[in-house]
Amino acid sequence: MAREELKINIIIKGNQVFLGAQATDCDPKMTALQGDLQAALARVPSFVEEANLQWDASPRNPKSTIPEPVPPAPVRTATTVSSRPASKPSTPAQPPLF
């Protein structure tokens, strides 16, 4: 089925060509190939046909079903019991600023 609106992107860097196609309410389709602008333009009709066939079958990729992460177990720390009360240090850890 032909789409009412279709966007085609061609990006060329050196001998690498990136083709992208996007239609309304469909996920984009992308591919890469070797060549120049002429090679990219020659590939566009078959690329659009492939994109339309893919979008007819499934316009959107299925939603990810990755499970939620399990919260880590609480960490237990060893405690020591002291028979004498904690004493206050004679010199402060940080001198007062004022």
Using one digit for the tens of pLDDT, what is the confidence trace for 43-86? Answer: 999 999 999 999 998 888 777 788 888 888 888 887 766 666 66
Q: What percentage of the chain reaches a pLDDT higher than 90?
A: 51
Q: What is the mean pLDDT of the chain?
A: 85
Q: Using DSSP bridges, classify how beta strands 6-13 and 29-34 pair: parallel, antiparallel or unpaired.
A: unpaired
Reported pTM: 0.60
Bridge partners for 18 per DSSP: 11, 32
Output the pLDDT for position 16. Answer: 95
Domain boundaries, the chain: 6-57
